Structure 1
Amino acid sequence: MARFLLLVFLMSGPLVAQDLSFRIAPTESCLWDSGHDGDNRACIGLAASACMEQPGGYSTVAMGYCLDQELSFWDGQLNDAYGQLMQAMRAADEGLPAHLAIQSSSLRDMQRAWIAYRDARCDHEASLWQGGTGASPAYLNCLMDETAQQALYLGALYSGEG
């Protein structure tokens, strides 16, 4: 059900995109400013919130648009971090005996389990709205938040901070 509502909102996105301006700059600036010492989690949602602050930004469709735009940014960050970490884990596994060469397969298994968890959690978030119009923004906000947190986690692992 939540995925159907998501599809409806994504299809209406081009209408909203004409009225709203989305910029990822608030999130990127926060990430840059917090560097390695700060709490990068505070950066999650800043661009979507700025987008929603525009006139008309708090309609359900507009919220869906803004959240989906930032979700796309975090999804790219997640894919980059996962790819870099997987490459590093494969290199670390190389040349080890089979019973020790488990980092890359463990990362793959963890990521698959995380995807299932994220989807179930976000479906549950949407269900709390009992079919109401807030279900799609709640679902997208959950996806954005969970994806961003996982991207930050994998990025920290890759940089040796995790």
Structure 2
Amino acid sequence: MRMALLAAVLLAGPAAAQEVRFSPAATDACVAQAAAPEAKRGCLGLAAQQCMGATSGGSTTIGMMDCLDQERDYWDARLNAAYKVLRAKAKASDADLAEWGSSAPRTEPALKQMQRAWIAYRDTTCEFERAQWGGGSGGGPAVLSCLMRLTGEQALYLESAWLGE
């Protein structure tokens, strides 16, 4: 029994040491303090960098990928929230235009088309970044860094459109 307990503790040690310590607090604070959209873009990657420094093994390929992926998830959630708000606003605006008999271009279909084109752009751009590593171990962090950065930029863009900045 003692040996089984010792083995469990020893095996859990490396797993616990690799626990990712991601927090978006620094990024949230940075974005909140930034007045201009350009300054907000400077916040991209901040939480991932702090995660890499706070996580045992955060400077390893796997550690970097975990931290970058979690910040990508953070920006993806912000992007989806902003897109949902913009889409609702666009539908309401388009309904008003239709009610007035306006022939102005509709916003909601343009928003949807723009977002679909952006997804294709993001994916192909990040695959290009991965390809530059020639199959090396840096390709994983490179593609996740790209996905995080481009997703963050798009989230900030949609949020600024939502807020009318």
Q: TM-score by structure 2 length?
A: 0.83
Matched, 1:104 2:96: no
Counterpart Cα distance in 2 of 1:106 and 1:147? 19
Number of equivalences: 147
Local SS of the residue matching 2:22? coil
Which residues in structure 2 correspond to 1:4-19 (within 5 Å)? 15=15, 18-19=18-19
Counterpart Cα distance in 2 of 1:113 and 1:47? 27
RMSD between aligned residues? 1.9
Which residues in structure 2 correspond to 1:127-142 (within 5 Å)? 127-142=131-146
Query: Where does residue 121 of structure 2 map in the other structure?
Result: 117
Counterpart Cα distance in 1 of 2:73 and 2:46? 14
Counterpart Cα distance in 1 of 2:150 and 2:105? 29
* Structure 1 contact 129–135 (Cα < 8 Å) conserved: yes
Local SS of the residue matching 2:113? helix
Query: Where does residue 92 of structure 1 map in the other structure?
Result: 93
Local SS of the residue matching 2:96? coil
* Structure 2 contact 18–63 (Cα < 8 Å) conserved: no
Distance 1:85 1:132, change over 3 A: same
Local SS of the residue matching 1:95? helix
Structure showing greater radius of gyration is 2
CA-CA distance at 1:99 after TM superposition? 3.7
Query: Where does residue 30 of structure 2 map in the other structure?
Result: 30
Counterpart Cα distance in 2 of 1:113 and 1:69? 24
* Structure 1 contact 94–101 (Cα < 8 Å) conserved: no
Moved over 6 A (4+): none
Local SS of the residue matching 2:123? helix
Structure 1: segments with no counterpart, 5+ residues: 1-14
CA-CA distance at 1:125 after TM superposition? 0.4
Identity of aligned residues (%): 44
Local SS of the residue matching 1:62? helix
Deviations 1:78-106 (A, max 9, x none): 00000101111111111324742510000
